[in-house]
Amino acid sequence: MLIKSFCIAIAVVLRQHSLIILGPYYKKWVHTVRHIISILLQNEAGALARVANLFSSRGYNIESLNVAPTHDETVSRLTLVTTGSDDVIDQITKQLAKLVDVVNIINMTKGDHIERELVLFKLQLDVDDKDELMALVSQFGGRILDDHAGHFTVELLGGSGKVDRFISELSAGVEILTVVRSGAMAVARGAPLLTPG
């Protein structure tokens, strides 16, 4: 067990410094998890770039990124989704907290939270299949925003899993022309955990 832990530590260090490409055996040792990280960030030029650079310099991907101002115009809330082991994400979170622009940071995945994502679809289908599409959209709590000559614009709001299930349940007669996803947004249940103070 000690040798296995040592090998994982070496692989992580080497990967962070881009010296090796990890083989298939590494994935068997390290359990990677999807993490939603929320950051309160000073609303200044270059702040977002410094956060993104921290991820890219360590070779980690940001799967989605959502940034918008809060009720305080000097602070923005950044929500990002990434994957990695708990240890690596904890390390990245500590590094992010050291950035001068970061006011506060929390890994939403560690607590009870509400996650939502807004998705707009542009779909093409035969008019005969419209009733089937309307039933599916209704089943998932979505809305048809536009219906024009066999082209449908559909709005869906929900967790990432719900969006993925909707896509997989579209019938073969439906052609997906465009998918616009906002990326995950998350907030803690109950009292706010991420505050400027």
Task: For the full predicted model, state whether its pTM sits above 0.85.
Answer: no
Q: Is the pLDDT of residue 103 over 50?
A: yes
Q: Is the pLDDT of residue 158 over 90?
A: yes
Over the chain, what is the mean pLDDT?
A: 84
Rounded Cα gap, residues 170 and 136, in angstroms: 8
What architecture does CATH give domain 114-185? 2-Layer Sandwich (3.30)
Average pLDDT over residues 28-33: 66
Q: Are the beta carbons of 108 and 38 closer than 8 angstroms?
A: yes
Banded model confidence at residue 85, pLDDT cuts 50, 70, 90: confident
Phi, psi of 177 (to 5 degrees): -95, -40
Q: Is the pLDDT of residue 16 over 50?
A: no
Average pLDDT over residues 99-109: 91
The domain covering 31-111 belongs, at the CATH homologous superfamily level, to: ACT domain (3.30.70.260)
